[in-house]
Structure 1
């Protein structure tokens, strides 16, 4: 059996610390000693063992032993296996090891926040470099295998047992980091190879070891240091193998081949239709949550522009424009030579995740709610075997046009036997079809193969469509029912595809893709944060009784000192300081204009400045965030705890929470001088702000041209009359556009509240989209109001008011807005038209707390005097990116509404903090709606209270830029 021997693993000898010292300084002295320079020191395996942490780990060790002892039931591991594993754990004491980011002394000295202070009684272990990796068997026996560079966990597992076929393995690296890796034929993944001294635990499927126990076991051995060392911390060499002859030679060749194998993630690529799939057919595969793609593919006579989003790991949806080059959009007088364009929406839901024995299963629908020219439904399954991924599905409609299988749903009703023909009349577009899952079906399926050259992926599929009943009464000659193609991954974000489809048509495509939840930009333009300095110790001083004057002056610094503090706070955060005052041992700072999305880092910057400047008597920093004069939330920072957390690396037992979210009323933000407050600094709000920049707007898919656009320059100005009252204005000057082609005004049977879009866009190059006076206020702690008036948006002017009930830190909020508005003139100046309406909504906001999903439901009267409801569902990721969709249904019939049947759309918002090199507020919004209609149209209100009070969102400290610890699925 190769070079594999059962071994006893003993801990290396530890050095006990006698007096407090920084680990970096201690290691620098130790590693520079002659005795250490003669050893092959394994820096990766250096351990800091905290005496205080040892107590916690003893409890965790006992919990692990108890869990093994009490495993029961028919699926539980055999008694000898449980006893053997328990004996192995019992033979290893709790060490108190704390995982270090890095053990190199120079790195530690350069990064004091990650350099722990060793206390008396702590141990430090400096091992030699081991030459092996140790596999833990289910019975507690150990198998040591010589380390092979770049060999993965599967190599060591099979070196110890060639018949082993686990699906998961826990790799405990010598630095204490635990990695759970997939190693099965159906789920293997790219992974980091074990380093010398790693431990591996890989129970077989069905062996009875719960995943929670495996995780605890791996965490326990992460505290034990590198494997394969003797009791002096020296490498324990393997015993020579007893194998001889052809058997040994065969095993060595197999091992050498296995060591060269590198597992890869299953490649997930887009089909011609944008959804994850093969070519023409979908699969049950999904991208990771947060994935987004935009792609274009062409197969004569179709060219498809696809945009797909993955808000959850089991849900994929998106939209598409299909160009049919063989058909005209309409009369030449309307659309010239433009070819026909079709809009559609797709979605796919995973019903079952793949396991070792069962396939992944998904249900999907293509072209729902559109004209239905390409509508189809499908049920598809996928199973992976190494580099091959097999799919098999049933398709209805366009996906099953071959019609070689009877519809089993016809047992329920004869209506399922036949499928109504699609309707190319755009007036009927947007209605939900009565054809779903009706008519004959067809099988479809295929295989994807990841070649040894990783960027190249091959695809072969059987197409369920025979192309004899194409949209607009077309039919195509085909030479094969099979399509074959390839995808070349130019980079991690760009795929180029090519294929031969129908046996006689070439397909070319390109897809840009990436994870929106991983978008981040280093803040290189922000000032460097201040270090966390230990505050001076308060020394008791005997003084004579002070006069009232000296009592008042003693606790605070001079105004000049706090001006510097204010300047540094504003520079470090980008926030505007409103006031600073003292209340006993608390220092309170109120900020207005908090223009940043990631608040956690800003709170730390605030604490660093205040810790530097505040007198030692101050033990708590209070931060109040004010939005337009509304105190919305507060944070309390325990000074000593914060400093300890940031000045050095602490053992888990010593780590404590330092920042606490609190209601704004609990932060002492009352009038200075009351309740013992001592005013230190006050600053008036910035009276006038002006910003000028480029702007862009477009409309897609219209009859005059596929893209109508305008590039303009925009100026936004704001005058603060008071903290809670301001006048905002917006001016726009069009520079470059193709609006001379915009001649089409959509028909409407409703009051034209939005279908005058052409007139508003083309009448004047210089416009005033906004001129609004707004006042906001608070009614107690949880209720807010606003009143406003002026030119509220590009198409309507008037007055309105809003009330919001938003309990602090609650997932629920309720808002009511009422507006009396009148339609503006087409030039967007001060002129008004005759049409007026009272519009408003009651809106319920609900942060579900489930995977970042937010649900907003509003009910009310819309601009066209129709009444109904809007449902908005979105998912927000930790970096603040939000993916959402909305739909509005009112008492207007589908025929009255016109093309589209009801208002709907998809949107993505990205915080500017994720895009720019400096911290900034605001979001970039990308919205898509199939078309603009009058039904279900809302007033585009500026400054809604839910947005103004969003700093009270309980997620605010959760939002952060992606890091290795926070990126990926949640």
Structure 2
């Protein structure tokens, strides 16, 4: 039966709702980690840049969800649903258990007005098996007393209960039919051919913010759970009831009664990278600017002729604040000072603190400081600062702006010898490690934990020998037994065999960094390059310090290592390499395009786009397409994933450049696989460039 006029249901709220302004309270999250009621979506959005995680547990079902508010209107979602189907003999886990990964998008088309509801459109299961494939159009309106009402129209899985003929087919006849749910299982491909096709169904509900911490919701769901009903649990009703209690401004605990048969427990946690967990001020105070007119200070300074004493005392003072003095020369009223920033997330802060120290350490006749940032022994950028400006503007209201406009930043050139005694130098660390593995079809989460010993020896500037050895102590990462079925060279799909190494010599290399020409950086490294490959690699990077563009070329010839991660090798070798383009797009957005040959011998390109925040957080997406057919690639169809970087200082409130980095792939296969090289040039030098100095100049006086 065709239901005429159904689309108008989405506008009913705008005709009958009282004129109530939009609520400022954060929207609730449904069981898919998206703005919603209980299971159904609503038209709300998270706050800009909010990152939310949710966990929902009910009978034979565990669902993890992550959502990120990419823009004011666009929400990106990643879901991992675990459905367990007990076997006929009553065993808790069966061979038909399903662990499903998928992406989704939610876009707010209209903001809520005095009479008009907010309106949003969404697509679920963009890149997955199609198990949760659905689309929706939904409206939400605020009512008096903290109540919000929602009505929506769903397609696909969201039309599996109470479905009727698609009203859009009256206009577009091609939208009338749709494959049965689960028939479109091209894993990892966009399921676009079926968007907004087939039957449609209504869903909706009401939410009430009863108190500042308690939210109640009731909804009618249009999801009949056709692939789970009678197997994982029983669907007896389409009505769901939920309650969410805010444990804090970040964490929420919830309970729900689902589909007339199942109790559910939910938990969600929201953070915003722009809002640090700790206030500023936990880092040490900067040293003062010492004005040359201070007679007592002048008397305490070493004489200009006593350069060794100046170097030694300056190195000691900088070391106290987490900065390594790499080189220092004085001549013609100018001091060239090369530093390595080991502590500050923004290098402008390291430059500012270095300049303060220099005012106390250098003779009065030195009128200008040329502060050069060094990365992996490579001079990257130069900041020229007038000493008089430091003395004049240290207490000015607009002191950061004043120093930025009066100083000059640009490319650095080699020319200063390292401090006597700086090389050779040896460093080591013994630290715990945790190595998780996600989305294994046999176990959703595997993990290995233990201790890692890392060491580096630098006999001279630019030349480094280093390695990492890991000793697993506990975990189940080495329990994986699923054999690879790849038809490609098994460059990654047998990673589970490498995970069994105990101990594991993860890396043992020699590397040499140098600058062959202005604005050009180069690197050669050889040895056991990563856990699965050893060989020789070379890289050249063209990167003007004041540019937002860079280009690089990397070539490597590698041999596959033995499974024990020792000094043995297997009989597979390959020459791999890429031409890479890097673009700082501004406003914290960065993109990278790599074109070339991958480890399995396939050729193609990888596109990476990420958002970086002022405090060091970053969140990115990447996708690789090569000449490997989707069927040959296997599950996932092509390589793709999400990258997340969390700065340790954001958690502790203290100055540190340390980060925790995570890469989530739906599945790791052999197509589109690159070497995991340590110390790639663009990542090594970018933070020290003139562009990055300008972007972070607000921390110059911190």
Query: Residue 409 of structure 2 contacts residue 690 of structure 2 at CA under 8 Å; is this kept in 1?
Result: no
Alpha carbons 1:711, 1:736 under 8 Å: kept: yes
Offset of 1:812 from its aligned partner? 1.1
* CA separation of 1:330 and 1:774: change in aligned 2, threshold 3 A: farther
Within-5 A mapping of 1:8-47: none
User: Which residue among 313, 330, 335 is the counterpart of 1:564?
Assistant: 313
Instruction: Give yes or no for the alignment of 1:736 onto 2:483.
Output: no
Q: Equivalents in 2 of 1:651, 1:746: separation in Å?
A: 61
Are 1:660 and 2:407 an aligned pair?
yes
In structure 2, how many angstroms separate the alpha carbons of the residues matched to 1:508 and 1:439? 33
Cα distance per residue 1:886-940 (max 9 Å; x no partner): 1111111111011111111111112233344543334210111111111111111
What is the Cα deviation at residue 556 of structure 1?
4.6
437-446 or 911-920: bigger deviation: 911-920
Q: What corresponds to 2:383 in structure 1?
A: 635
Give 1:910's aligned residue: 646
The yes-or-no answer on 1:670 pairing with 2:406 is no
| 8 Å Cα contact 2:106/2:121 also seen in 1 | yes
Question: Which residue number in structure 2 is paired with residue 106 of structure 1?
Answer: none
Q: In 2, are the aligned partners of 1:817 and 1:841 still within 8 Å (CA)?
A: yes
- Write the mapping of 1:221-300 to structure 2, written as runs, cut at 5 A: 265-300=24-59
Give 1:109's aligned residue. none
Q: How far off is 1:569 after superposition? A: 1.4
Give the match's secondary structure for 2:358: helix
Paired residue for 1:67? none
- Tell me the SS of whatever aligns to 1:949: helix
Question: Does 2:265 align with 1:528?
Answer: no
Deviates more, 1:437-446 or 1:469-478: 469-478
- Note closer, same or farther for the CA distance 1:921–1:907 as it changes in structure 2 (3 Å cut): same
User: Do 2:60 and 2:232's aligned partners in 1 also have CA atoms closer than 8 Å?
Assistant: no
Aligned residue number for residue 339 of structure 2: 591
Q: Is structure 2 residue 364 aligned with structure 1 residue 616? A: yes
Tell whether the 8 Å contact from 2:214 to 2:246 is kept in structure 1 after alignment.
yes
- Post-superposition Cα deviations, 1:177-200, rounded to whole Å, max 9, x if no partner, equal xxxxxxx95246xxxxxxxxxxxx
Equivalent of residue 529 in structure 2, options 781, 792, 797 = 792
Q: Distance in 1 between matches of 2:555 and 2:341?
A: 27
The question of whether the paired residues in 2 share the 8 Å contact of 1:639 and 1:658 is answered with no
Give the superposition deviation at 1:779: 3.0
CA shift, 1:377, in A, is 1.1
For residues 386-436 of structure 1, the C-alpha deviation after alignment (integer angstroms, 9 at most, x for no partner) is 63333332211112223544324435654421221233898x422222322
Q: Which moved more, 1:780-789 or 1:834-843?
A: 780-789
User: In the alignment, is residue 382 of structure 1 matched against residue 140 of structure 2?
Assistant: yes
In 2, Cα distance between equivalents of 1:562 and 1:807: 30
Residue in 1 aligned with 2:616? 880
Q: Distance in 2 between matches of 1:618 and 1:380?
A: 67
Tell me the secondary structure at the aligned position of residue 892 of structure 1: coil
Aligned to 1:846: 583
* Cα gap change, 1:703 to 1:657, in 2 (>3 Å): closer
Gap change, CA 1:471 and 1:530, over 3 Å in 2:
same
Alpha-carbon contact 1:402-1:441 (below 8 Å) kept: no
Residue ranges of structure 2 left out of the alignment (5+ in a row): 1-18, 296-301
2:442 to 700, 704, 707: 704
* Aligned match of 2:625: 889
Cα distance in structure 1, aligned partners of 2:208 and 2:272: 24
Q: Which moved more, 1:742-751 or 1:822-831?
A: 742-751
Q: State the shift of 1:708 in Å.
A: 2.0
1:398 paired with 2:157, answer yes
SS of 1:491 mapped into structure 2: coil
Mapping for residues 71-90 of structure 1, pairs under 5 Å? none
Number of residues of Structure 1 aligned to a counterpart in Structure 2: 674
Distance (Å, rounded) in 2 between the aligned partners of 1:490 and 1:454: 11
Distance change (3 Å), C-alpha of 1:932 and 1:875: same
Q: Secondary structure at the match of 1:848?
A: strand
Deviation (angstroms), 1:458? 1.9
Q: Which residue number in structure 2 is paired with residue 723 of structure 1?
A: 461
Match of 1:167 in 2: none
Q: Retained in 2: the 8 A contact 1:309–1:318?
A: yes
Task: Output the CA distance in 2 between the equivalents of 1:495 and 1:415.
Answer: 43
Determine which of 745, 755, 779 is the counterpart of 2:483.
745
Structure with bigger helix share is: 1
Query: 2: CA distance between counterparts of 1:594 and 1:741?
Result: 38
Asked if 1:831 is matched to 2:553, the reply is no
- Match of 1:905, SS state, is strand
Spell out, residue by residue over 1:794-836, the C-alpha distance to the aligned partner (whole angstroms, 9 max, x if none).
Answer: 1111112111111222111111111111110001111111011
Shift of 1:330: 14
Match of 2:431 in 1: 693
Structure 1, unpaired ranges of 5+: 1-183, 189-264, 539-552, 673-678
**Could you say if the C-alpha distance between residues 848 and 651 of structure 1 is closer, same or farther in structure 2, counting changes exceeding 3 Å?**
closer
| Structure 1 SS opposite 2:287 | coil
> When the two structures are superposed, what TM-score results if normalisation uses the length of structure 1?
0.65
Q: Are 1:684 and 2:441 matched, yes or no?
A: no
Whole-Å separation in 2 of the counterparts to 1:939 and 1:652: 45
Distance 1:606 1:656, change over 3 A: closer
- For 1:514 and 1:417, locate their aligned partners in 2 and report how far apart those are by CA, in whole Å: 41
> C-alpha deviations, 1:119-140, integer Å up to 9, x for none?
xxxxxxxxxxxxxxxxxxxxxx
Q: Which residue of 2 aligns with 1:488?
A: 245
Q: 1:898 maps to what in 2?
A: 634
Distance in 2 of aligned mates of 1:331 and 1:625: 66
Gap change, CA 1:941 and 1:907, over 3 Å in 2: same
The alignment partner of 1:569 has SS state of: helix
Distance 2:239 2:91 in 1: 38
Per the alignment, residue 4 of structure 2 pairs with none
Q: 1:642 to 1:928 in 2, by over 3 A?
A: same
Matched, 1:803 2:540: yes
Measure how far apart 1:384 and its partner are: 3.0
2:125 is paired with a residue whose SS is strand
**Counterpart-to-counterpart distance in 2, 1:654 and 1:470:** 61
Equivalent residue for 2:128?
370
Where 2:179 maps in the other structure, the secondary structure is coil
Q: Are 2:411 and 2:519, in contact at CA under 8 Å, matched by a contact in 1? A: no
Tell me, yes or no, if the aligned pair for 1:635 and 1:659 is still in contact at 8 Å: no
Aligned partner (choices 18, 21, 26) of residue 186 of structure 1? 21
Q: CA deviation digits over 1:284-316, x for unaligned, max 9?
A: 222123322222112334321222223333332
Equivalent residues in 2 for 1:950-961 (5 A)? 950=686, 951-952=688-689, 954-959=691-696
Shift of 1:331: 14
Give the alignment of 1:58-457 within 5 angstroms: 185-187=20-22, 265-327=24-86, 339-356=97-114, 358-385=116-143, 387-411=146-170, 414-423=173-182, 428-433=186-191, 434-451=193-210, 453-457=211-215
TM-score (norm 2): 0.88
CA deviation map 1:630-662 (0-9, x unaligned)? 11112222333333333x354799956466351
Report deviation, 1:752: 0.6
2:601 counterpart of 1:865:
yes
User: Is the Cα–Cα contact under 8 Å of residues 578 and 682 in structure 1 kept in the other structure?
Assistant: no
| 1:890–1:935 Cα contact (<8 Å) kept | yes
Contact kept? 1:527, 1:571, Cα under 8 Å: no
Alignment correspondent of 1:76:
none
Larger strand proportion of the pair? 2
Question: What does residue 267 of structure 2 align with?
Answer: 510
Instruction: Provide Cα deviations, 1:71-95, integer angstroms capped at 9, x if missing partner.
Output: xxxxxxxxxxxxxxxxxxxxxxxxx
Q: Deviations over 1:334-379 (max 9, x none)?
A: x878943222222223333344454433222112221111111112
CA–CA distance in structure 2, aligned partners of residues 862 and 579 of structure 1: 40
Q: Distance in 1 between matches of 2:156 and 2:648?
A: 43
CA shift at 1:712, angstroms?
1.6
Deviation at residue 837 of structure 1 after TM alignment? 0.9
**Radius of gyration: which is bigger?**
1
